[in-house]
Amino acid sequence: MTTIAVLGNGRVGGNLATALTRAGHEVTAVGRTPGAASDAARTAQIIINATPGAGSLDRLTALREELRGKILVDVSNATLDGPDGLPGDLIHPGSSLAEQLQEALPDTRVVKTLNTMLFPVMTAPTTLTQAPTAFLSGDDPQAKQAVRELLIGLGWHEEWITDLGGIRTARATEAAILFVPHVIRSSGFTPFAISVAR
């Protein structure tokens, strides 16, 4: 059992917290209550960033001491909304939220994953008609292995998880968010994920 703090209790965070609890972990999900994120991060082994990506860097930088030595799993995408409220552009072009977090939090082990799919797929990958891919980006191999094990506990098959390499590779998966609004406009909010077919 792992002690996990999920920062963000919206659709993404709530869905992850429920599934991780069901998988046998001790999970605390927190929203914007003052002090709650600090308390949760201080006592957790793994922290999941499911806060809106546009404000994640500021929120998490404020938790520098609480996150020291911890694994930070970043599932958010930092985007600017288009006129219809869907992602329209990247806040960190030529970089990524995950890279910005790792630079701001050098004593925290940041791992990027689960950001190339609609949120229901994060915890129910087998519901798709084709195998999805979950990508891992991060500089710490042990942290990535711990996150890989979390994903397997959520129903991800080992062969569906692809380690892309260091945290710099997160800029590729974060840029994939630009597919999302076009797919949604074309097909609606039907769950989907980016997949590497072999």
Structural domain contains residue 20: yes
Structural domain contains residue 194: no
Structural domain contains residue 46: yes
The residue behind tokens 């998880």 is 161
As for how many domains the chain has, the answer is 1
Structural domain contains residue 86: yes
State the Cα angle at 81 between 77 and 82, rounded to 5°.
135
The pLDDT of residue 91 = 95
Residue 158 CA to residue 167 CA, distance in Å, equals: 20
Structural domain contains residue 193: no
pLDDT per residue, tens digit, the chain (198 aa), is 799 999 999 999 999 999 999 999 999 999 878 789 999 999 999 999 999 999 999 999 999 999 999 999 999 999 998 888 888 899 999 999 999 999 999 999 999 999 999 999 999 999 999 999 999 999 999 999 999 999 999 999 999 999 999 999 999 999 999 988 899 999 888 999 999 988
Could you tell me the CATH number of the domain that includes residue 110? 3.40.50.720
- What does pTM read for this prediction? 0.96
Structural domain contains residue 196: no
Query: Containing domain of residue 140, as a range?
Result: 3-187
Residue 106 CA to residue 84 CA, distance in Å, equals: 36
Structural domain contains residue 80: yes
Q: Around Cβ 18, how many Cβ atoms within 10 Å?
A: 14
Structural domain contains residue 114: yes
